[in-house]
Structure 1
Amino acid sequence: MTGARRRWLGLVFISIAVALIIVDSTIVNVAIPSIIDDLDITSTQVQWVQESYTLVFAALLLVFGTLADRYGRRRILLTGVVIFALASVLAAMAQTGDLLIAARLVQGIGGAMVLPTTLSLINATFRGRDRGIAFAIWGSTIGGMVAVGPLLGGWLTTYFSWRWAFGINVPLGILIVAGILVFVSESRDAGEPRRIDGVGAVLSVITSATLVFGLIEGRTYGWWLTETAPTLGDWTWPFNLSIIPVAFLVTLVSGTAFIRWGLRRQRQGKSTLLAFSLFRIPSFRNGNIAALIVSLGEFGIILSLPLWLQNVLGYDALQTGFVLLALAIGSFVASGVAGALGNRVSPLTIVRVGIVAEILGVAGLGTVITVDATWLSIVPFLFVYGMGVGLATAQLTGVVLGDVPVDQSGQGSGTSSTARQIGSALGIAVLGTVLFTSVGLSLDARLAELEVPAATSAQIVDVVVDSAGAAIPSLDAQSPAVADAAREAFSEGTRYSAYAAAGFLVVGLLASLRLTGRPLEREELPVTAEVAG
């Protein structure tokens, strides 16, 4: 087998590994109602089933990106896939909500080992024009899997069990491990591994974890004053000041300490978790800023759209998955378009075209989101949105890492992935706040027009918002007029959420103007990594 063919076959299994962790981050959304019925979990546990994975995932990306550079990218990738598959078994067999949450936490560890190593393996394996195509395939896989996740989850949940939404990861994990061992070569930094910066690792985890926790949980616990007191066992948060500002203060202190500690070690010639010198590279520095901002709006609509499709339009989980499949198709088409453009168009131009397509797609969705909408009016905009995701995600990654030396690609990709995850977490927090605040205000106003008593109105608003719209169908039996008002309000909130996402993408497009793009096939960077067959 030729070396070129082996590399491309290796990319197939690298992409499947990315698909594994991305699908799992979205597949749970459509399975949650069945999980609630089966395990009788509380609303707080529902939140943690969805969010514990993201929290651990984002907190550990940078750590594992650095470890991969030093101890072997393929080794860390394989370890992550095995951990992820074993945790999936625990999730599939969980008999309580707490056990499911614990399994999701372990899945987050495995996922954090997989994502940055796939990026750094591509960066180390492919050069020139091939690298651009490989990044396009990698990015389109992410975009496509965001839509395939709900479809697969809907099918498994409808015809089998929610447990298979996790169990499906086991055969996929075995396939990935076999393919990586056969077709992907090991690569690592040249020379003996240096001693890991333990203090930097701890500070990095604290910074990422507290920031993501604050962004995700702000709407629940209160952004400034305590609205819902967090509990841990028998202990309850006793202060009027919310835990969220405290979390952000810890983020600020630990983040500052992380930077100061890293710069000090760098001046002493010691190893650091993050290669701070990378931020002297304009494409890396400005590209990460743009990636973070774009991520604020990139996938936010995918969180609210399934809720609207099921609770307002009355689609089931599988039908919702089919509608979202348009996004996947658009993303995969974008992969072919990016590959066909090759050397004729710069990666940065493709990034900007992709962001523009995302803006048009998301804003277009906002214009058609009504209680009378049909899938025919939704699918075209989802396709355009998917095209934009496929074009922008991969090529922006290529721009960010294009000038990063191969021996620091794990650190670079870990930083890039962390920036995206933090951006996504902020987007989830902000767009979630826009959605549910808008729904609450709109429904309250509509119920006032129906002359519903204030106390009853407050109860209805709380039920609709707290259930994320799931209570809307049950309102029909009590009062069709109230149910219609709830559908109108939820449609309005979803529409505002879409417009907010489009606004973030506009800011991301403006941020991309600070980038100076050059084709990826420019002069080759010196290869300093050791590659072992």
Structure 2
Amino acid sequence: MTKGLEQHQDAGALRLGTARGRWVIAATTLGSGMALLDGTVVNVALPRIGTDLGASIAALQWTVNAYLLTLAGLILLGGSLGDRFGRRRIYLIGVAWFALASALCAVAPNVGVLIGARALQGIGGALLTPGSLAMLQATFHPDDRSGAVGVWSGFGGIAAAVGPFLGGWLVDGPGWRWIFLINVPLAALVIAVTTRHVPESRDEQASGHFDVRGAVLAALALTGVTYALTEGGRGFSALAGVAGLLLGAAFVVAERRSPEPMLPPELFSSRLFTAVNLVTLCVYGAFSGIFLLLMVQLQTVSGFAPLVAGLALLPITLLMLAFSGRAGQFGRRVGPRLPLTLGPLVCAAGVLLMLRIGPSSSYWLGVLPAVVVLGCGMTVLVAPLTATVLAAVEDRRAGIASGVNNAAARAAGLLAVAALPALSGLSGDSYQVPTEVDAAFRTAMLICAALLTTGALLAALTIRNPRTPAPTPDCTWYCDSTNPPLD
């Protein structure tokens, strides 16, 4: 009882330079890093998973999308639960849930069980992901919060850099099941450190009302549309798609009528907020498609080992880690319109360079130039995009604004992973046939380049620079290449 009281009193007063402050940083970075690692290593392992489990391309899509579905649908609800019942408590539940689901993924006897376990993993991710940064904001003294978030973001960049290398090494060595099994001891460490060193915090003004109806409608709508896109929109899948669209409309109506909606409609009264989220849908949809199919292309067509294929994306993380802070400062000086227009165009150029990747491509001449150009574009884009989202709303709505933007990015990735293989001509087990993969990859990269160009045009036409520059947020050092940060 006394220890719990002391921990609660520590909330909002902890200093970064103390031993306990360092433990809190360790607990939050290890937990968020666990989820970040999982997001980067699975794509590397997909070809080997498909071969070992005899899975079709649709089953591999669901291996990715089952996780994204539950994560995107429940991540805003997870943040609300933490505010109401205690951020540390919900974070610990999320970490434990994620570990148990990871263990189930590791022992999955067939692809159906793997898909179900991945959906459970997404629930754990939705509980732990918002809590990581929220605990830092609530625990540290206001003077140290910026430094704490900077350290957290830097370690997140390291996790993103290590992820592809670790995934490739595990797939090449002990096997793909270890990309999930490794989460179990890591989660045990996170639980031990968090329980001992992280104080509890909550929003004392939280009403206890949760928009469960909105979360369920959002998840079901995404499921219906995703199923239709994955299965090609024929027969029952067409009905599922229509049902998904109707449920999406019901979600909008429910959010307008809810006294405390998960997705406050008034946020979209800001033209800037709406515009930036439309740009997010385009660019993060493209990124998810690129990272998924590039791994298949490199392993199936170019003959790269999983380890080498995983390392192919390392320059992107290094560029973002080294220069995202400067990109954020650049965006602050010139306004968001230029970086949000220029960044996607540079990314599109990098994607077009990927058309040179084929059966006889070398890493240094074929892959590296394209990846470097893509990384430069992402570095220019990501930090100003996050800053613009936060600047588009009042300070008190910053958390929900960044949560909505994060959910939009995940939903875009979900839909892209569902639609791109079918649009590019991959079906059944054709992902194991080099000639078919090569043709589909080229089509998919043209689609992704078009999405990025569309994002650039949206930014140029709809985003206006504010009269007074917005402050650069703490998250400008965030280096996850697949999702913007949660504030």
User: What TM-score do you get using the length of structure 1 for normalisation?
Assistant: 0.73
RMSD (Å), alpha carbons: 3.8
Q: Is residue 246 of structure 2 the alignment partner of residue 253 of structure 1?
A: yes
Q: Is residue 85 of structure 2 the alignment partner of residue 58 of structure 1?
A: no
Letter of the 2:429 partner, please give it.
Answer: S
Q: How does 1:214-225 map to 2 (within 5 A)?
A: 214-215=228-229, 217=230, 221-223=231-233
Paired position in structure 1 for 2:7: none
Paired position in structure 2 for 1:375: 363
Structure 2 CA distance for partners of 1:15 and 1:401, relative to 1, 3 Å = farther
Q: How does 1:8-27 map to 2 (within 5 A)?
A: 14-27=28-41
Q: Is residue 233 of structure 2 the alignment partner of residue 286 of structure 1?
A: no
Q: Separation in 2 of the partners of 1:384 and 1:140?
A: 24
Q: Separation in 1 of the partners of 2:155 and 2:340?
A: 13
Match of 1:87 among 68, 78, 101: 101
Paired position in structure 1 for 2:433: 471
Structure 2 CA distance for partners of 1:33 and 1:491, relative to 1, 3 Å = closer
CA contact (8 A) 2:68 2:411 kept: no
Q: Separation in 1 of the partners of 2:149 and 2:383?
A: 9
Q: Aligned-pair distance for 1:33? A: 4.7
Structure 2 CA distance for partners of 1:69 and 1:42, relative to 1, 3 Å = same
Q: Aligned-pair distance for 1:83? A: 1.0
Counterpart secondary structure, 2:312: helix
Which has more radius of gyration? 1
Q: Separation in 1 of the partners of 2:27 and 2:343?
A: 25
Paired position in structure 2 for 1:511: 458
Which deviations, in whole Å up to 9, do the C-alpha atoms of 1:81-113 show, x marking residues without a partner? 221112112222333444333321210111122
Paired position in structure 2 for 1:157: 171
Match of 1:431 among 395, 399, 420: 420
Q: Separation in 2 of the partners of 1:127 and 1:275?
A: 27
Paired position in structure 2 for 1:365: 354
Paired position in structure 2 for 1:453: none
Structure 2 CA distance for partners of 1:42 and 1:364, relative to 1, 3 Å = closer
Aligned residues: 455
Paired position in structure 2 for 1:234: none
Structure 2 CA distance for partners of 1:262 and 1:496, relative to 1, 3 Å = closer
Structure 2 CA distance for partners of 1:204 and 1:143, relative to 1, 3 Å = farther
Structure 2 CA distance for partners of 1:126 and 1:382, relative to 1, 3 Å = farther
Q: Separation in 2 of the partners of 1:21 and 1:193?
A: 29
Counterpart secondary structure, 1:3: coil
CA contact (8 A) 1:294 1:508 kept: yes
Q: Separation in 2 of the partners of 1:354 and 1:132?
A: 27
Paired position in structure 2 for 1:476: none
User: What TM-score do you get using the length of structure 2 for normalisation?
Assistant: 0.79
- Which stretch shows the higher mean deviation, 332-341 or 153-162? 332-341
Q: How does 1:124-143 map to 2 (within 5 A)?
A: 134=149, 138=153, 141=156
Q: Aligned-pair distance for 1:40? A: 5.4
Q: Is residue 237 of structure 2 the alignment partner of residue 244 of structure 1?
A: yes
Paired position in structure 2 for 1:230: none
Q: Separation in 2 of the partners of 1:211 and 1:140?
A: 35
Which deviations, in whole Å up to 9, do the C-alpha atoms of 1:321-346 show, x marking residues without a partner? 22232223223223353477596555
Q: Is residue 278 of structure 2 the alignment partner of residue 331 of structure 1?
A: no
Letter of the 1:3 partner, please give it.
Answer: R
Letter of the 1:511 partner, please give it.
Answer: L
Paired position in structure 1 for 2:15: 3
Gaps of 5+ in 1: 227-241, 438-464, 473-485, 525-533
Q: Separation in 2 of the partners of 1:351 and 1:127?
A: 30
CA contact (8 A) 2:157 2:321 kept: no
Q: Separation in 2 of the partners of 1:11 and 1:286?
A: 34
Structure 2 CA distance for partners of 1:410 and 1:369, relative to 1, 3 Å = same
Q: Aligned-pair distance for 1:166? A: 0.7
Q: Is residue 471 of structure 2 the alignment partner of residue 521 of structure 1?
A: yes
Paired position in structure 2 for 1:235: none
Q: Aligned-pair distance for 1:153? A: 1.8
CA contact (8 A) 2:101 2:120 kept: yes
Q: Is residue 324 of structure 2 the alignment partner of residue 314 of structure 1?
A: no
CA contact (8 A) 1:136 1:395 kept: no
Q: Separation in 2 of the partners of 1:81 and 1:259?
A: 31
Match of 1:302 among 266, 291, 306: 291
CA contact (8 A) 1:136 1:339 kept: no
Q: How does 1:494-509 map to 2 (within 5 A)?
A: 494-509=441-456
Q: Separation in 2 of the partners of 1:407 and 1:138?
A: 22
Q: Separation in 1 of the partners of 2:146 and 2:341?
A: 19
Q: Separation in 2 of the partners of 1:259 and 1:212?
A: 18
Which deviations, in whole Å up to 9, do the C-alpha atoms of 1:359-417 show, x marking residues without a partner? 23222223x22433211121122123123334423432232133545655553333222
Q: Is residue 14 of structure 2 the alignment partner of residue 30 of structure 1?
A: no
Q: Separation in 1 of the partners of 2:205 and 2:369?
A: 52
Which deviations, in whole Å up to 9, do the C-alpha atoms of 1:475-527 show, x marking residues without a partner? xxxxxxxxxxx2xx643432332222121111112222323456442899xxx
CA contact (8 A) 1:58 1:112 kept: yes
Q: Separation in 1 of the partners of 2:71 and 2:339?
A: 28
Match of 1:49 among 25, 50, 63: 63
Q: Separation in 2 of the partners of 1:392 and 1:128?
A: 28
